[in-house]
Amino acid sequence: GLVQAGLGWALLPRTLVQPLIAAGVLVEIGFQNASNEVRLLVDIVWSRERPMGLGARRYVELIQQAWPAPLNRECVSGRPARRVSAG
């Protein structure tokens, strides 16, 4: 999408993008100052009105085990999220 249109960059698995690099659709950018450790921020958002299901709760548990940092349970704006219809 946006990366192929030249509007950004992405950190993607090599196996996924190698055919696109070989075809000249994407260009690999090397980072000389990067370490081997990549840190990504992950936002997990859910409605207070609809509790998370078993799968979502398990996902949060796995994230917490992998990166044992306290979850910030406050929403950034301080307001509840509004429902957006798809389509």
What global pTM score does this model have? 0.37
Model confidence at 22, pLDDT cuts 50, 70, 90, reads: very high
pLDDT tens-digit map of 27-37: 887 766 666 56
* pLDDT value at 71 more than 60: no
How far apart are the C-alpha atoms of 76 and 1, rounded to whole Å?
28
Q: What pLDDT score does 19 carry? A: 93
* pLDDT value at 42 more than 90: no
Quickly list H helices, 6-69.
Answer: 14-22, 54-66
State the number of CA atoms in the 13 A half-sphere of 8 facing the CB. Answer: 6
